[in-house]
Structure 1
Amino acid sequence: MENNDSRAATVDRLLTDKEVGAMLGGISRAKVWGDVKKGIIPKPIKLGGITRFPLSDILGVIETAKQQRAA
């Protein structure tokens, strides 16, 4: 059986649209949702009545932008 520390290391933190905007340089919630609509930011997941973005998806967006910058 896994201990709590090893499970916590594999859990993908879930972010609100406001937290995503802050991670991406302080963009507005409206811009976050506009970028979702454009396909720049992956669609969030829904759990019950909440909508959240997995941290790994947002880190992927940042990594993609870094790679495009280098091209």
Structure 2
Amino acid sequence: MTQQYLTFRELRMKLGKRSRSAIYDDLKTGRLPKPIKLGGKNYWPEGDLDEHLKTLREEGS
């Protein structure tokens, strides 16, 4: 299976159109995984992001 990489815009859409500042706050506090920097842009491996969000949901219940 090929890993998909999300751009910042795609990340925002996946997270329900969260604001830019809210996403940066989430990154700072560890609620979102750190992105991979490629060519000066940030990308999030979608599988890693899904796993991270699943873990946070399980810890919250």
Name the TM tier (shorter chain). Answer: 0.7 to 0.9
- Within-5 A mapping of 1:37-56: 37-56=28-47
**Identity score, percent:** 34
Q: Which has the larger radius of gyration?
A: 1
- TM-score of the two chains, using structure 2 as the length reference: 0.78
Read off the aligned partner of 2:37 and give its amino acid letter.
Answer: K
Aligned twin of 2:50? 59
Which 5+ residue runs of structure 2 have no aligned equivalent? Answer: none
3-state DSSP of counterpart to 2:27:
helix
Higher relative contact order (CA 8 A, sep 6+): 2
CA contact (8 A) 2:5 2:45 kept: yes
Distance in 2 between the 1:26 and 1:49 partners?
Answer: 23
Deviation for aligned residue 1:66? 2.8
- Deviation per residue, 1:28-48 (Å, 9 max, x gap): 122111111111111100112
Distance in 2 between the 1:53 and 1:13 partners?
Answer: 8
Q: Which runs of 4+ in 1 moved over 4 A?
A: none
